[in-house]
Each structure stands twice: as structure tokens, then as C-alpha cells.
Chains A and B, each alone.
Chain A
Amino acid sequence: MKDDIVPRRCFGPEIWLAGVAMHLALLAGLKYAPSAISASGEPMEFQRIMYFHVPSAWVAFLAFFVTFVASIAVLVKRSMWWDSIATASAEIGILFCTMALISGSIWGKAAWNLWWAWDPRLTTTFILWLVYASYVILRMSTPSGERSARFGAVYATIGFVSVPLTYVSVKLGAGMHPKSAGLEPKMLHALLFCIGAFTVLYFAFLRARFRLEQLRRAIQ
């Protein structure tokens, strides 16, 4: 892979796909999926936040995983191309992780009457957010270049390794986060569609941010 390759356009065809898919995702989550029914038989419209929350969390994890893989590639191949991928993906991951945390918090207020609970999944996601926020701060404060790429790669690798450890260490308390079991087929369709739409959106963002990073590198 050539290091200094710059995509010609900011957005590729996937942005159109993402645009259409995100609109359809809105319809899927708000219209197609039936209302969730509470144990007492009342509809719980707030449950629809799931179609936004779960895909956001999924994209956040995907983005951080991409950063991890790209970081290993940086360390092995000393490739700046992969570094642009890692930087771009980490920032997008933070964006989606923030959205997942905020949407989860709004849902929590409706469902648990709590803005936040120190549940293992919530805590791990929060710490994941902190790890990658530190990653971005590290990248901001290192003069860009080969050394910055190495530092970032080392941090992203160690950071990713620490995530399962965090999950184990906080899991000792009982979790209250809902599990995915028992979704109606239509709800599952809508959810899977939203996850797909968000994933396409992630790749559209990744290309745009990657191009920006490559351009920045090119003019330096």
C-alpha cells in the first residue's frame, strides 16, 4: 500500500448509500418496528432509542477494533497509510461511543429512572471512551510524523488489551444492562438494518477522515 495515496474525493459512493440507509433506518426504527410492550401491557416508545443506541455502540467497538488492527500494522510495517486509518477510526469511534453513552443515558432515565448506573457494560464502555480520548490527546500533543504514529500505535495496542481486563475487573458486580434475547422478529429486522446502516455511515466517515489525514500529511 502506498503511504502517500490520497483519495480524490472526500466522499465516495458509500456516502449516498449511507444517506439512503440512514433514512430507511429512521423508518425502520420508528415505523416498521412494533412498539415494545411493558410487563403491564403498556407500550414503551422510549424503547425505540435502541435502534440508535445499539448501532452506535456497535460502530464504536468496530471503529476501536479497526484502530487496534491498524496500529499493529503500523508497528509491523511502519506504514503511515495504516496510521491514517488508525487516527481516523479512533476519532469516529469516540464520536459513536459518545452517542452510545448519551443515548443509553437517556434510555436509562426512562427505563431505570437513572441517568447512569455503574453496570459492567456501561463502565467498560465509559473506560473505553476514556482510553481513546487519551489516545486522541496523545496524538494531538505529539508532533506529527513517524514518531507520533509509533506512539499512537503503542498506546492503541496496550489500550485495546486493557479493555477485556477492565470488563473482567468490573464484572464482579451484578449487571443490569438488558441482554439481546427475546426480540420480536420485526424488531430484530429493524435493529439489524440500523446496525447495517450505521456501519455504512462509519465507512463513509472513515474515508472522509482518512483523506483529511492523508492531505494533512501531504502538505506537511
Chain B
Amino acid sequence: MRWLSAVLCLAAKDVRHELRTREALASMAVFSLLTIVLFHFGFSDLGQEATVFAPGALWVTFTFASMIGLARSFSVEEINGCLRGLLLCPHDRSVIFAGKMLGSIASVGAVSTVALVLFVVLFNLPIFSMLWLVWIVMLLGVVGVTAVGTVFSAMTIGTRMRQTLLPVLVLPIILPLVVFGMQTTAKIINSATTGSAPVAEIAGGIVGMLLFDVILTTAGIMTFEHVVVE
């Protein structure tokens, strides 16, 4: 109980901070919009069918946008020695990990949701009936990406290259999750457009992503204490 309230307290602090400054939210949202514009000129303007490139474009947008949010997750704690203050709290290190992860899930999840809706509208994707399912798959992606990203965000503030390094570190690790997410999203979009839903395959994809999330989050909790030792 005490663990959970501390985690929620830390996550609420991050959400409050984000709502007041809106720095990460704004840059993530604008970045997503710019990516959508680029995908328009790169694919749909060149005659590609939106339903074909949408899964890939969606996940690329969300993955890269989340890097912006994750990079800020720990760099804001560097100011005025906030990280030291956090570490001095009489709590387990896993509290910091879970709280930070939850805060990132909130901001990255919010932006991804907006990006998803804009995607559907701007590319006229006929998937309104299945939108909730795409959203769930996307949130499962957000969980895995933030689990890995939280550990590496704490790590990169201690390197010379700082946050520049974050995507380089995170992307190879989350690749299986993103690939799985793209495949599942493609199946959902395909079933929404053709009308025949391969329920077992989609369910399998979602279970697989859940499994990835559990593994990545466990790895994150287990290794995080080694990252913030000072």
C-alpha cells in the first residue's frame, strides 16, 4: 500500500509538472503532426494506399515521439538536484522506476491517442469500429517502450552524449515489441477494411505484446537500481 501510494504520488507529480509546463506534450504532439505530414508526402501523395502503410507509419510516429517524452523524464530531475532528492526518499528504488514509468505512460499515452485519432482522420482510415482495439495495442506498446525508456533515460543523463543517446539505446531493444505491434495493428486494420476478423491471430498478437511488456518491465525493475546508485 505504501509502495503504491508513493508510486502514484511520484507519477502525479510528473503529470502535474507536465500539465503546467506542457513542454514534452507540446513537442511530442507537434512532432507527431510533422511526421504525419511527412508520411503523407512520402506515401499517400505518391499513390500508396493508406491502409497499407498506416500500421508502420503509426508505430514509427509513436515510437519516435515517445523518445522525446522519455528523454525529458529524467533530464527534468537533474535541475536543482531533484534526482538526489528522489534517491534520498525512504523508499525502494523500484518506486522511482514505477512512478517515472507511470508518469511517462500518461504523457506518451495521451500524445499517442491524439496522434492515432489524427491519423485516422487525416488519412481517412475506415477503421472506426476497430479503433478501440488499435488503441489498446498501442497502449501495450507504450507500456513496453516506457519500461525500457525509463531505465535508459536515467542512464543517459550520466553519459557525455546525454539524451542524444536515448533512441540509439532504446530502439534496438524495443524492436520486437514494435514489430509485433505493427503486425497486430496491420491485422486489425485489415480486418476492419475487409470485414473478416482473424480473432485468434489478433488475440495472439495482444497476448504476445502483454508478455513482452511483462518481460521488459521486469527487466526494467530488476536493473533500474543499478542505474541510479549514487
> Which of B28-36, B61-69, B219-227 lies at the interface with chain A?
B219-227
Q: A127-B175, A141-B159, A142-B160 are in contact. Are A161 and B219 (CB under 8 A)?
A: yes
Residue numbers in A under 8 Å from B159 (CB-CB)? 138, 141-142, 151
Q: Is B90 at the interface (CB under 8 A from chain A)?
A: no
Residue of A nearest to B180 (CB): A169
A151 pairs with B165, CB closer than 8 A:
no
Instruction: State the Cβ distance, A191 to closest chain B Cβ, in Å.
Output: 30
Within 8 A of A (CB), among B56-94: none
B219 pairs with A150, CB closer than 8 A:
no
Q: A143-B160, A151-B159 are in contact. Are A134 and B219 (CB under 8 A)?
A: no
Per-residue B-contact encoding for A117-151, CB less than 8 Å = 1, 0 else: 00000000001001100100110011100010011
Q: Is A172 at the interface (CB under 8 A from chain B)?
A: yes
Q: Is B198 at the interface (CB under 8 A from chain A)?
A: no
A–B pairs, 26, beta carbons within 8 Å: A75-B226, A127-B175, A130-B172, A134-B169, A134-B172, A137-B165, A137-B168, A138-B168, A142-B160, A147-B229, A151-B158, A151-B227, A154-B155, A154-B223, A155-B155, A158-B148, A158-B223, A161-B215, A161-B219, A162-B172, A165-B212, A168-B176, A169-B177, A169-B208, A170-B176, A172-B183
CA distance A165 to B213 in the complex (A): 11
Residue numbers in A under 8 Å from B219 (CB-CB)? 157-158, 161
CA distance A131 to B215 in the complex (A): 17
A169 pairs with B176, CB closer than 8 A:
yes
B176 pairs with A162, CB closer than 8 A:
yes
B169 pairs with A155, CB closer than 8 A:
yes
Q: Is A159 at the interface (CB under 8 A from chain B)?
A: yes
Instruction: State the Cβ distance, A86 to closest chain B Cβ, in Å.
Output: 14
Within 8 A of B (CB), among A62-87: 75
Instruction: State the Cβ distance, B198 to closest chain A Cβ, in Å.
Output: 13
CA distance A161 to B152 in the complex (A): 15
Q: Which of B158, B168, B180, B183 contacts A142 (CB 8 A)?
A: B158
B169 pairs with A153, CB closer than 8 A:
no
CA distance A113 to B195 in the complex (A): 39
B173 pairs with A131, CB closer than 8 A:
yes
Residue of A nearest to B201 (CB): A172
- The 10 lowest CB-CB distance pairs between A and B, nearest first, are A169-B176, A165-B176, A141-B161, A154-B223, A131-B172, A130-B172, A166-B176, A169-B179, A141-B160, A141-B159
Q: DSSP class of A's interface residues: helix, strand, loop or mixed?
A: helix
CA distance A169 to B182 in the complex (A): 11
CA distance A195 to B176 in the complex (A): 30
Residue numbers in B under 8 Å from A165 (CB-CB)? 176-177, 212, 215
Residue numbers in B under 8 Å from A155 (CB-CB)? 152, 155, 169
Q: Which of A134, A153, A158, A161 contacts B168 (CB 8 A)?
A: A134
Within 8 A of B (CB), among A2-43: none
Q: A159-B173, A162-B175 are in contact. Are A154 and B151 (CB under 8 A)?
A: yes
CA distance A147 to B229 in the complex (A): 9
Residue numbers in A under 8 Å from B220 (CB-CB)? 158
Residue of A nearest to B220 (CB): A158
A150 pairs with B168, CB closer than 8 A:
no
CA distance A137 to B152 in the complex (A): 13
Residue of B nearest to A147 (CB): B158
Within 8 A of B (CB), among A151-205: 151, 153-155, 157-159, 161-162, 165-166, 168-170, 172
Per-residue A-contact encoding for B190-213, CB less than 8 Å = 1, 0 else: 000000000000000000100010
Residue of B nearest to A132 (CB): B172
CA distance A134 to B171 in the complex (A): 10
Residue numbers in B under 8 Å from A141 (CB-CB)? 159-161, 165
Within 8 A of A (CB), among B125-183: 148, 151-152, 155, 158-161, 165, 168-169, 172-177, 179-180, 183
Instruction: State the Cβ distance, A150 to closest chain B Cβ, in Å.
Output: 5
A157 pairs with B223, CB closer than 8 A:
yes
